[in-house]
Amino acid sequence: MTDSNRRSFVAATAAVGTLGVAGCLSTIDGWGDGGDGEGTGDHDDNDSESEPDDTREFHYHSADELPGETLVSFDDLDGWVTMLDAGDLDADEDDPYSGPQSASLTAAEGTEYAGIYTTRSGGEDLSDSTLSLAVRFADQEQLVLTLELFAPNSSRSVTLRRTLIGPTDRWTRVDFGTAGIDGEPDLSNVREIRLTARRRGATEGPIDCAIDDLRVASRPDRGKVMLLFDGTLESHHEIALEALSEYDFAGVEAVIPETVGNDGRLSLTQLDDLVEAGWDVAARPRTGAQNITDYSDTEQEGLIRQTNAWLENRGFEDGTASFLTPRNVMGPTTRDLVEEYHDRAFRYGGGTNGLPISDPYNLGFFSGNAGEDTKTYIDYAAAHGELAVLHFEEIGPNSMSELAFENLLSYIDDADVDVVTTADLDEYEP
């Protein structure tokens, strides 16, 4: 979004309304080596899966806007096999993300998941790398994508995962973060890669998922942690501010303008205090008990515009760069509007984000109040150069206790990570 787009609407705002996988082992070689089974594992082999991006047509991004290089283009599906009882794999020439076709994964109702895999006899070196994938899905409102890297076998593997809550029928990119490690994998020798798409939040209906342009990029040496505070709650000032200051950390406050100054919520003065302490703010429209997708297109735009206008009119214009998705649900219209009025968007993703970022409008967070699970994701971010965005609501009685919050900050301080705010993400975004 340009500065003029983000800032030109303030005067007009008053006129706008509100708003697990089973399968036979494959003998097919040729993942990333052109199908001859004799590849070296280098990404720059002279083959169809590793051609320089500037030789390909990208329908939704130019190659120079995306980090890294294409590892698998899905222009040729010969090296891919469907898992046992895990749906079907077909070429999809209708609206591919890049090149002449995408890969279509489908599974009928009653089939647990759609899954495919490919093998590489010579191994692929994915050490010090991050993976991202273009995805478009329909029929299901929520989807869980899982990548498994056998390095070199299933007992020495890395699992990457991402939860998507919309948008349906729209291409987006997933920057995969680590979700599990089995044994002691050697990522310089990846022999098999598996991809599954599963329903989330529903058990009925088919799975219909298109994938394209699996990319690999060099990851940073150090992981990043972001502390994201939602709800414009007073405890973020009264408890979190002082606790973070002890470690010289800064957070990000997602501001719901209509709540500022209300009982139990941040006052304008308290919000100023956060910013003076180095915190960033983000725009968070108020939708109450509804999803933003429950509003009409015009109403969604009105919510986004007036939230930005409130921030700008009170000196928090930098906060309009970032959007926190209300109730985590993003529809196609919401996505289009957020791209027009913001530079990035956060919503629930169930884990960490790979760095560098290929899609800043699909940044995932997870709960900062999940005990050992939260610490595990911090460890993954530290070990694999990923971004862990921790989401907090109330700090204090009947929620995350002050002691638990302080212990978590101490854990982060001891970890090999940098605590960042939204302003620090520019370095890792396209």
Q: What is the pLDDT of residues 218-236, one digit of tens each?
A: 999 999 999 999 999 999 9
Does 279 lie in the same domain as 192? no
Kindly state whether residues 202 and 228 are assigned to the same domain: no
What Å distances lie between residue 405 and 41, 179, 368, CA to CA? 44, 23, 9
168: domain CATH number?
A: 2.60.120.430
Q: Could you tell me if 195 and 103 lie in one domain? A: yes
In 256-358, DSSP assigns E strands to 280-283, 322-324, 344-348
Looking at the fold, whether 243 and 358 belong to one and the same domain comes out as yes
The pLDDT score that the predictor gives to residue 25 is: 28
Kindly state whether residues 100 and 227 are assigned to the same domain: no
Residue that is written with structure tokens 């991809």 in the block: 195
Least confident among 22-26, 69-73, 261-265, 346-350: 22-26
Give the E-state strand segments of 271-424 in sequence order: 280-283, 322-324, 344-348, 363-367, 387-392, 417-420
Per the DSSP assignment, residues forming a β-bridge with 124 are 190
* Residue 120 in domain: yes
Average pLDDT rounded to a whole number, residues 200-212 = 90
Q: Measure the CA–CA gap between 165 and 200, rounded to whole angstroms.
A: 9
Same domain, residue pair 313 and 168: no
* pLDDT recorded at residue 55: 57
CB 33 within 8 A of CB 191: no
Q: Which of 218, 241, 257 is the last residue of a domain?
A: 218
What is the structure's pLDDT at 41? Answer: 40
**Residue 22 belongs to some domain of the structure:** no
Supply the range of the domain harboring residue 131.
Answer: 53-218
Q: Which two tokens stand for residue 278?
A: 């180095």
| CA 7 and chain centroid, separation | 27
Taking the C-alpha atoms of residue 107 and residue 64, their distance in angstroms, rounded to an integer, is: 34
Query: Are both 277 and 401 inside the same structural domain?
Result: yes
Least confident of 14-23, 63-72, 102-111: 14-23
**Residue 227 shares a structural domain with residue 355:** yes
Same domain, residue pair 83 and 170: yes
**More confident: 41 or 183:** 183
Higher pLDDT, 201 or 159: 159
Q: What is the pLDDT of residues 260-301, one digit of tens each?
A: 999 999 999 999 999 999 999 999 999 999 999 999 999 999
Q: How confident is the model at residue 56 (pLDDT cuts 50, 70, 90)?
A: confident
Distance CA 350, CA 364 (A): 7
Is 314 a domain residue? yes
Quick check: is 419 in a domain? yes
Please check whether residues 334 and 236 belong to one and the same domain.
yes
Higher pLDDT, 331 or 64: 331
Q: Does the pLDDT of residue 355 top 70, yes or no?
A: yes
Whether the predicted pLDDT of 80 surpasses 80: yes
Average pLDDT of the segment spanning 333-348 = 97
In a domain, 24, yes or no: no
Specify whether the CB–CB gap between 120 and 59 falls below 8 A.
Answer: no
Q: How far is CA 107 from CA 4, 85, 139, 202, 301, in A?
A: 45, 9, 11, 14, 35
Residue 37 lies in a domain: no
Does a structural domain hold residue 407?
A: yes
What's the structural domain count of the chain?
Answer: 2
The β-bridge partners of 425 are none
Provide the 3-class DSSP secondary structure of residue 370.
coil
Residue 326 reports pLDDT greater than 50:
yes
Measured CA to CA, the distance from residue 417 to residue 420 in angstroms comes to 9
Lowest pLDDT segment from 44-58, 142-156, 314-328, 365-379: 44-58
Which of 189, 218, 247 is a domain's end point? 218
* Residue 126, helix vs strand vs coil: coil
Higher pLDDT, residue 62 or 361: 361
pLDDT of 24 > 90? The answer is no
pLDDT at 50 over 90: no
Domain boundary residue, one of 154, 184, 218: 218
Q: Is the peptide bond before 167 cis (omega within 30 degrees of 0)?
A: yes
Question: Is residue 348 domain-resident?
Answer: yes
pLDDT band at 61 (very low <50, low <70, confident <90, very high): confident
* Residue 248 and residue 114 share a domain: no
CA distances from 309 to 74, 296, 315 (A): 43, 20, 10
Residue 27: the pLDDT is 27
Q: Is the pLDDT of residue 11 over 50?
A: no
* Same domain, yes or no: 210 and 231: no
Helix axes 297-313, 332-341, angle to 10 degrees: 30
Strands (E), 73-169: 81-82, 88-92, 102-107, 113-124, 129-138, 142-150, 157-165
Say what percent of the chain tops pLDDT 90: 80
Average pLDDT (75-100) is 94
CATH of the domain at 385: 3.20.20.370
In the predicted model, is pLDDT for residue 51 greater than 60?
Answer: no
Pairing of strands 223-230, 387-392: parallel
Better-scored residue on pLDDT, 60 or 197 = 197
Give yes or no for residue 23 having a pLDDT over 50. no
Tell me, letter by letter, the H, E, C secondary structure of 212-268: EEEEEEECCCCEEEEEEEECCECHHHHHHHHHHHCCCCCCEEEECHHHCCCCCECCH
pLDDT bucket at 63, cuts 50 / 70 / 90 = confident
Positive or negative, the Cα torsion across 168, 218, 390, 337?
negative
